[in-house]
Amino acid sequence: MSSPFELRTGDTGKSKKQSMAELKLRRLTELNQRLQEDLNRRRIPVSEASIDLIAFTDKEPKDFMVPSRWGQVDKRDDPYAPQQQGGCCTMM
């Protein structure tokens, strides 16, 4: 009767351990590379990002979802206002 932990024929334990070690090394190398990229990423202070965001919203078209910034919007110009229809049925 064979044991459940029997080695395959022609397979050595060293090659399996070596491939596992190479896999771990590759994963650590990839992780190190991603962390290095994060470290090299350009960073800016929050105050500068806020100023950029405010400048962006000043240049872009009106956002009807922010009435405090652009004032109240006329109902016919507001694309988010519920559309009033002539009745409950449509004739075809």
pLDDT tens digits for 12-33?
A: 667 888 899 999 999 999 999 9
pLDDT of residue 92: 61
Question: How far is Cα 15 from Cα 27, in angstroms, rounded to an integer?
Answer: 18
Which ranges of 1-92 would DSSP assign to H, the alpha helix? Answer: 13-40, 46-59, 67-70
**Identity of the residue numbered 66:** V
Per the CB < 8 A criterion, the answer to whether 34 and 26 are in contact is no
Q: From residue 38, give the alpha-carbon distance in Å to each of 31, 32, 73.
A: 11, 10, 43
Question: How far is Cα 32 from Cα 27, in angstroms, rounded to an integer?
Answer: 9
pLDDT of residue 57: 76
Q: Which tens digits make up the pLDDT trace of 42-58?
A: 999 999 999 998 888 77
